[in-house]
Amino acid sequence: MLHIHKPADRARTSVLQEPEAVLTALSPTSISETGLPRTTTLGILGGGQLGKMLATEAARMGVAVKVLDPTPDCPAAAVAEQVLGSFRDPQAVRDFAAGVDILTVEIEHVDVPALEAAAQHLAMDVEPTPATLSLIQDKLTQKEYLDNHGIPVARFMSVEDEREEQIAVEAFGLPLMLKSRRLAYDGKGNARIREMSQLEERRESLGGFKHGLYAEEWSPFVKELAVMVARSRDGSVSSFPVVETIHNRSILQIVEAPAAVPQAVQQRATALAEQAVSCLDGAGIFGVEMFLMEEGELLVNEVAPRPHNSGHYSIEACATSQFEQHLRAILGWPLGDTQLVTGGAIMVNILGSGEGADGMRDAHNVMRRAYETPGACVHWYGKRATSFLRKLGHITIVGRNPQECRDRLALLDPSLAGSLGPLNGSGNQIGFVTGSRQYQLTWATDKATITEASPSTSDLGTLSPISELSSRTDLSTGPFSEAPLIPSMPAEPAPASPEPAVIPSTVAGPAAASSEPSFIPSTIADANAAGQATGGSAGASTEEPVIPSTIADPDTARQATGQEASTSSTPPVHIIMGSDSDLATMRAAAEVLQDFGVPCQVTVVSAHRTPQRMMDFAQSAHLNGVKVIIAGAGGAAHLPGMVAAMTPLPVIGVPVTPNGAHLDGLDALMSIVQMPRGVPVATVAIGNAANAGLLAVRILAASSPALQQKMLIYQSKMKETVMDKAQRLESVGWQHYTL
């Protein structure tokens, strides 16, 4: 028995209920000569968030929608007519099909025989075709099909008993993936086998051999990429930009568009995705997930025959969203423009932190922070209940360029921004950090090499090969005392390191022991960069996280010739002084920068004793990625002015009082502040290097929302300190007040 639920607010869907006279007056070819009329009623199997977003776009386009879902008041019921019933119930599917003109799905795990019957007996359009849905439902059959059509995939084999299981171990080695053939999604149905002692337990956790299993060779990838490809009813295809996907326990957490990989990789990924979709039947949008391997090889992980989480960013960031494109494709209408209309976009899933009121409150706190973030758009799915890692909504952040998107993400949660790694001048990711180790990602055309970097070097120098990478720690919460975007869960410890990695970061902050609020993003684990022993999203166990950890400073300078500069992580602020004796004063600037998480390099450059060194430094600083120079000098104090004359960068001068000086630093102050027109030096008070550090932070904050937020917090803390002192003075009286 089917029960129909219609939206309570009929005004919201009245556009779908047009007078019969109007409908009959419309030509069936009013949109496309070969497509379905706009008056078509679309039936969607599944009423979750994908169904809701499909129905929302359909309403905007004037297409009536019904959804079949067993959950009363499912998310899609807010915008479409809901028919209560299971999309896995043959009778429910047949009855539902009788009331619509065309069928599509928001989830592939539906009753395919019922769809085949509808297509045959009701002359019903089903897109994608039942044959394609049947093929994709069985992950092993899907792998075999792709492999037979020349699509590169990881090595795999069916595992029906212990003998075949042993053959797989001998053929692929350990670790390997044991996977369910059916009903596997969002990390469910995957188990990583590291050692033989785990085999039986992990197998049984998947339901045993009777459930249908297969084994897959471990894929030590550099990145996980995804491409949304639309296939029209005539077989033509159109692709969206290549994106990078980052996962939390095999559940998608972050999508960055476009992916921070070389253009050659993007082109090959697009071509491979289109090749994979072209060998399938039916129209609609398809999500193609793939692994980018260290040697540049691309392996298709799986194909989803529907809108996909990795394409949600397209609602705000592309001329045509993936949902509109799916509707255009299945209705036979012209496909839309898939180009980005923003300089970049980042999509973040809002994942449940737990059950009940506390879990829902955490999710709403995340939404509140998103509403305070520039360029952020919140999508709330309207689910009635929450649970750990359940998808409750998503946030899309857009910006003028990828770095602005990352800076805005840092306002939302610095630990998530850190998970993306720094960019070089070409917009390619150049490293990541996990635990206490840092790694360099080096690109040669479309091939990537990962090497461990020495903590003692500032240029991410090479130490060890990728094969030595071991398992990572779990994702941990961000620095907010409220709900983190990454729900935490106990996990295995990170590999030990004799000393902490040193890597510049515009996000990282002071040591945890500081009495001030810490801005250090919590360490988050990585199994998403190349060669990690933790593996991938759909290719990884549900027990393993796959988000790269905090790493920062994004900008690598270009040479004056226009060629890309070194991929070294040059600290954005350099502190120079005429003598090491000035360090007693200049130390305060470095400490302030450290408190704000801004890397700096401190060295001695004498204007009088090493003039050539001074010239070389000043003339090359901007080419090496330096953003601000703080120069301290005493006596004649020529250093700040001479450097300012030879660099396009801002120079902050600090008058220093040398040991044995007789003018108390006034000579240095007058020398630095009295610069001729055209050679500015921002001069602070005598000995006040701390203000020089603060000014450097403000200069950087002009292009970094994350630093702006930190500065606002710093100013707020100063206000609180003064108010506390005033209250204490008024309370105890001036006679008893002690400093």
Write the pLDDT tens digit of every residue in 662-671.
Answer: 788 898 899 9
Q: How far apart are CA 709 and CA 409, in angstroms?
A: 12
Report residue 472's pLDDT band, with 50, 70 and 90 as the boundaries.
very low
Q: Out of 57-71, 75-89, 322-336, 509-523, which region has the weakest mean confidence (pLDDT)?
A: 509-523
Calculate the average pLDDT of the chain. 80
Q: How far apart are CA 91 and CA 467, in angstroms?
A: 53
> Apex CA 416: angle with CA 455 and CA 265, to 5°?
80
Q: How far apart are CA 675 and CA 631, in angstroms?
A: 14
Share of the chain above pLDDT 90, in %: 54
Write the pLDDT tens digit of every residue in 376-418.
Answer: 999 999 999 999 999 999 999 999 999 899 999 999 987 787 6
Cβ(399)–Cβ(408) under 8 Å? yes
Q: Out of 11-25, 98-112, 329-343, 584-598, which region has the weakest mean confidence (pLDDT)?
A: 11-25
> SS3 of 594, please?
helix
DSSP code per residue over 373-404: STTEEEEE---S---TT-EEEEEEEEESSHHH
pLDDT at residue 453, rounded to an integer: 60
| Beta-sheet pairing, 437-444 with 431-434 | antiparallel
Closest CA to 306 of 325, 335, 284: 284
pLDDT at residue 675, rounded to an integer: 92
Strand partners, 214: 158, 179
Write the pLDDT tens digit of every residue in 677-702.
Answer: 999 999 999 999 999 999 999 999 99
pLDDT at residue 421, rounded to an integer: 72
DSSP code per residue over 36-66: --TTPEEEEE--SHHHHHHHHHHHHHT-EEE
Burial 155-193 (b: 16+ CB within 10 A, else e): bbbebeeeebbeebbeebeebbbbbbbeebbbbebbbbb
DSSP code per residue over 163-225: HHHHHHHHHH-SSEEEEESSS--TTTTEEEE-SGGGHHHHHHHTT-GGG-EEEEE---EEEEE
Q: How far apart are CA 543 and CA 406, in angstroms?
A: 27
Q: Which two tokens stand for residue 558?
A: 């270009």
Strand partners, 345: 257, 398
Q: How far apart are CA 652 and CA 614, in angstroms?
A: 16
pLDDT at residue 167, rounded to an integer: 94
The model's pTM is 0.63
Report residue 487's pLDDT band, with 50, 70 and 90 as the boundaries.
low
Share of the chain above pLDDT 70, in %: 77
pLDDT at residue 444, rounded to an integer: 72
Per the listing, tokens 């470095």 go with 590
CB atoms under 10 Å from CB of 225, counted, come to: 27
Closest CA to 684 of 699, 697, 668, 700: 668
Cβ(655)–Cβ(677) under 8 Å? no
Q: How far apart are CA 260 and CA 257, in angstroms?
A: 8
- Gyration radius of the chain's alpha carbons: 29
Asked if the model's pLDDT at residue 633 lies above 60, the reply is yes
Q: How far apart are CA 171 and CA 247, in angstroms?
A: 28
Mean pLDDT in residue range 264-279: 96
Asked if the model's pLDDT at residue 528 lies above 90, the reply is no
φ and ψ of 262, to 5 deg: -60, 155
Asked if the model's pLDDT at residue 534 lies above 60, the reply is no
Write the pLDDT tens digit of every residue in 201-226.
Answer: 889 988 889 889 999 999 988 899 99
Asked if the model's pLDDT at residue 595 lies above 70, the reply is yes
Asked if the model's pLDDT at residue 45 lies above 90, the reply is yes
Q: Out of 179-183, 406-410, 459-463, which region has the weakest mean confidence (pLDDT)?
A: 459-463
Q: Out of 90-104, 495-509, 666-680, which region has the weakest mean confidence (pLDDT)?
A: 495-509
Asked if the model's pLDDT at residue 508 lies above 60, the reply is no
pLDDT at residue 422, rounded to an integer: 74
Write the pLDDT tens digit of every residue in 416-449.
Answer: 876 777 777 667 776 665 545 566 677 776 677 7
Q: How far apart are CA 188 and CA 107, in angstroms?
A: 15
| Residue 89 vs residue 7, higher pLDDT | 89
Cβ(104)–Cβ(330) under 8 Å? yes
Side-chain-side CA neighbours of 354 within 13 Å: the count stands at: 10
Asked if the model's pLDDT at residue 471 lies above 50, the reply is no
Mean pLDDT in residue range 573-588: 93
Write the pLDDT tens digit of every residue in 143-161.
Answer: 999 999 999 999 999 999 9
Asked if the model's pLDDT at residue 631 lies above 50, the reply is yes
Q: Positive or negative, the Cα torsion across 105, 107, 108, 110?
A: negative
Asked if the model's pLDDT at residue 526 lies above 70, the reply is no
Report residue 456's pLDDT band, with 50, 70 and 90 as the boundaries.
very low
Q: Which two tokens stand for residue 118?
A: 């509808």
Report residue 735's pLDDT band, with 50, 70 and 90 as the boundaries.
confident
Q: Looking at this protein, which amino acid is placed at residue 422?
A: P
Q: How far apart are CA 340 and CA 241, in angstroms?
A: 8
Mean pLDDT in residue range 497-510: 32
pLDDT at residue 533, rounded to an integer: 33
